[in-house]
């Protein structure tokens, strides 16, 4: 157990292991943040952007080997391999500690060890957690300041009691005396390790400086370790957006959404509805911590303090609120630069410039054969800069959830929207979510569909079967009418020519309106073998131009196609092993019999 009283002893132990030249405790102040940025500029590790076009903003460029979460180098270290399950890379904790201690030994030579006290969740929230990250990367420090509640006030909170999650990180590139540093130091891919010790509530990350591998408050603590804490403490840590949807009469509901990477999660969180009088405000775009309130309803907080969004495809057309948020005081990673030092990426608004400097520092023109920005280029910005931030976003108690959306990128089979028959059926739907593989994770299977239960496949800190059982168990802790309704949405259905049938973006507000009305009990739904679906008259399509027959195709349920889907789900469950809860097999059997 790591507490305030063991903090200095742990830091001293890690200092002796990593042998930095000095140790700096981060205060989290604005002055410190600006000083760190200027230090990186002087070292050639950060580039200040055009102060008129992009004030207070900087660009960073990573090593080409260090551009995404390295899932094949991400491990769960627990005593029993069965506790990690088939979706995680298991390692023996004692063995991996030997390997990592050898890697960390002297890894910070010639560098500074920064101590980052940070909190996930608002101060005083029932499920907020404290982490202490040690790192030799200033890039990590400045990003963590935007992404978490970081600083001396966290140490004061820790001193009053409670535990912290120890997070050790090094880029794995020690410097000999007089040796010149690299613009982006890191270790070779086979030497990278992102290791979680769920039984000890501890994270060790070595060799990568990139986002999810190095900002240990994000996926590592807020999902992989938090999912274990949540199971043990009776709450949920989920890869979900939180939005507030308000109708023209001022009535509002809070909605969660679980979507795999590159399925429009940030776009939906900051949606600009096309329907008059409807508004969407965001409380978070990536992670939700959910607990049972005294009234028996589920309440959610966003444990993060910033957005770490994919730049590619972000534009005023796709996400105007994100574009406003990143207009100043933003850190960009692996984007392209215009000749006047503004940022550019594929999918941004306006004509393609005649000349750019690409993310690898090379001269780029529209005739170049490679993308100007990396497909997984990122922006890091404080949540407070979002122009549609809901006033409740820092409420320590969280907000009561009316609906949970799940969805992936499926060009066929899955209709535009359907609702579960029950909580258990909704968990079944969430367990079967599939999506095309994207550039956000290193994989050779881009374009293929992979099942991604509740968009948590890379982030569950324990066995996926136990995780799904925890979902079912949470539903048994309260009465069914107090639980959120669960909906499966699919904005990505295509016609036979490969064209999207649904326009998406702001038009998704039409689907949100139907979901809102279902939660209010204002519209009936059609019972189909796969769930409740809207009657076409209840989907608001006023002013919407669709291809002829598109709406029918978007709401079709073909029994032969779904029979094959059910077979695929059964094979998937069998592959995951005997821990898949019997209730989910019962839901699958029910689907198969209804299709007959």
Catalytically active residues are 263
Whether 165 contacts 151, CB under 8 Å: no
Contacts of 524 by beta carbon, 8 Å cutoff, 6+ apart: 535, 538
Phi, psi angle pair for 565, to nearest 5°? -60, -45
Q: Which three-class secondary structure state does DSSP give residue 580? A: coil
Strand order in the sheet with 363-364: 343-344, 336-337, 356-357, 363-364
Place of tokens 């002055």: 31
Strand, helix or coil at 381? strand
Q: By three-state DSSP, how is residue 204 classified?
A: strand
Q: Report whether 370 contacts 345 (CB < 8 A).
A: no
Torsion, Cα 405 411 412 418, to 10 degrees, reads: 20
Angle among Cα 492, 494, 496 to the nearest 5 degrees reads 170
β-strands 202-206, 164-170: how paired?
parallel
Helices (H), 52-115: 81-84, 93-104
Burial of 573 (0-12, 13-18, 19+ CB in 10 A): buried
Structure tokens at 332: 């960009």
Q: Please check whether residue 512 is in contact with residue 419, taking contact to mean a CB–CB distance below 8 angstroms.
A: no
Distance CA 359, CA 379 (A): 13
CB 147 within 8 A of CB 308: yes
């Amino acid at each position: 157990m790591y507490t305030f009283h063991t903090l200095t002893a742990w830091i001293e132990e890690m200092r002796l292991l990593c042998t930095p030249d000095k140790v700096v405790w981060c205060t989290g102040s604005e002055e410190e943040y600006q000083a760190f940025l200027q230090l990186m500029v002087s070292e050639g590790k950060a580039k200040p952007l055009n102060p008129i076009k992009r004030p207070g903003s900087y660009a960073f460029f990573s090593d080409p080997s260090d551009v995404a979460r390295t899932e094949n180098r991400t491990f769960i270290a627990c005593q029993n391999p069965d506790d990690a399950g088939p979706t995680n890379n298991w390692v023996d904790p004692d063995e991996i500690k030997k390997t990592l201690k050898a890697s960390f030994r002297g890894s910070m030579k010639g560098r500074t060890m920064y101590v980052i006290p940070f909190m996930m969740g608002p101060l005083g929230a029932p499920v907020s957690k404290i982490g202490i990250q040690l790192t030799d990367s200033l890039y990590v420090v400045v990003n963590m300041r935007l992404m978490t509640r970081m600083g001396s006030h966290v140490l004061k909170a820790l001193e009053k009691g409670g535990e912290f999650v120890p997070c050790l990180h090094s880029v794995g590139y020690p410097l000999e005396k007089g040796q010149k540093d690299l613009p982006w130091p890191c270790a070779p891919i086979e030497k990278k390790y992102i290791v979680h010790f769920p039984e000890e509530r501890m994270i060790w990350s070595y060799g990568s400086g990139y986002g999810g591998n190095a900002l240990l408050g994000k996926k590592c603590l807020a999902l992989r370790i938090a999912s274990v804490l949540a199971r043990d403490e009776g709450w949920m840590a989920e890869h979900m957006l939180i939005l507030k949807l308000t109708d023209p009469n001022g009535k509002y509901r809070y909605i969660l959404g679980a979507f795999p990477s590159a399925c429009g999660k940030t776009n939906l969180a900051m949606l600009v509805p096309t329907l008059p009088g409807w508004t969407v405000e965001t409380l978070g775009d990536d992670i939700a911590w959910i607990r049972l309130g005294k009234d028996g309803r589920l309440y959610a907080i966003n444990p993060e303090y910033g957005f770490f969004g994919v730049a590619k495809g972000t534009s005023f057309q796709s996400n105007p609120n994100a574009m406003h948020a990143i207009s100043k005081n933003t850190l960009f990673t692996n984007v392209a630069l215009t000749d006047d030092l503004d940022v550019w990426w594929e999918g941004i608004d306006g004509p393609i410039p005649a000349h750019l400097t690409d993310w690898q520092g090379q001269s780029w023109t529209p005739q170049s054969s490679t993308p100007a920005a990396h497909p997984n280029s990122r922006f890091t910005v404080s949540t407070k800069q979002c122009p549609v931030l809901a006033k409740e976003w820092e409420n320590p108690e969280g907000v009561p959830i009316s609906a949970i959306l799940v969805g992936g990128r499926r060009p066929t089979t899955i209709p535009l929207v359907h609702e579960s028959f029950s909580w258990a059926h909704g968990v079944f739907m969430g367990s079967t979510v599939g999506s095309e593989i994207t550039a956000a994770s290193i994989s050779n299977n881009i374009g293929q569909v992979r099942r991604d239960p509740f968009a948590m496949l890379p982030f569950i800190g324990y066995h996926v079967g136990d995780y799904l059982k925890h979902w079912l168990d949470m539903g048994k802790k309260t009465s069914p009418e107090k639980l959120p309704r669960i909906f499966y949405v699919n904005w990505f259905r295509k016609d036979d020519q490969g064209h999207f049938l649904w326009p998406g973006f702001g038009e998704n507000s039409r689907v949100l309106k139907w979901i809102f009305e279902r939660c209010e009990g204002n519209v009936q739904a059609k019972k189909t073998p796969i769930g409740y679906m809207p009657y076409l008259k209840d989907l608001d399509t006023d002013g919407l131009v669709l291809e002829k027959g598109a709406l029918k195709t978007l709401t079709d349920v073909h029994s032969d196609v779904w029979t094959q889907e059910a077979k695929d789900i059964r094979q998937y469950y069998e592959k995951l092993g005997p821990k898949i809860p019997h209730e989910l097999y019962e839901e699958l059997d029910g689907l198969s019999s209804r299709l007959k």
